């Protein structure tokens, strides 16, 4: 069964304290891995798509990387406005477009 596991469940950082969030997956052939940001009571906001091992994507203070078994979301010098839940989702290669989500990492950045 396809599964996505995110760690840690929650992360508290001081402003400027860099860290990484982990997303490990078991999928029979990965078609795409997606990172989203979700603010409380809001819909997931698309951040990145990664397709193959070794691929990296960057946006402001965020960088996403992908290996054959996991993805990392690196946050460099975070600010309080980066506080949110970060969701990872995978898409399998069978005749499906559905996304399988992890439970997310709740990030809090304190000034």
Q: Considering the complex, what minimum distance in angstroms separates the CB of residue 72 from another protein?
A: 18
Nearest CB to another protein, comparing residues 17 and 99: 99
Q: Considering the complex, what minimum distance in angstroms separates the CB of residue 61 from another protein?
A: 20
Binding residues (CB under 8 A) for another protein: these are 32, 34, 36, 41-46, 48-49, 87, 89, 95-104
Q: Considering the complex, what minimum distance in angstroms separates the CB of residue 111 from another protein?
A: 27
Separation between Cα atoms, residue 108 and residue 79, nearest integer Å: 9
* Residue 41 region by backbone torsions, left for phi larger than 0, else alpha for psi between -120 and 50, else beta: left
Nearest CB to another protein, comparing residues 3 and 18: 3
Separation between Cα atoms, residue 41 and residue 60, nearest integer Å: 24
Nearest CB to another protein, comparing residues 37 and 82: 37
Separation between Cα atoms, residue 106 and residue 39, nearest integer Å: 10
The residue to which tokens 């010098």 are assigned: 77
């Amino acid at each position: 069964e396809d599964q996505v596991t995110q760690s840690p469940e929650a992360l508290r950082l001081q402003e400027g304290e860099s860290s990484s969030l982990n997303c490990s997956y078991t999928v029979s052939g990965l078609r795409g891995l997606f990172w989203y940001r979700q603010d409380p009571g809001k819909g997931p906001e698309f951040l990145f798509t990664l397709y193959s091992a070794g691929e990296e994507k960057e946006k402001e203070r965020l960088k996403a990387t992908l290996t054959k078994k996991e993805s990392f979301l690196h946050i460099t010098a975070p600010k309080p406005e980066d506080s949110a839940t970060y969701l990872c989702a995978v898409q399998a290669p069978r005749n499906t477009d559905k996304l399988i989500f992890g439970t997310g990492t709740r990030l809090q950045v304190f000034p």
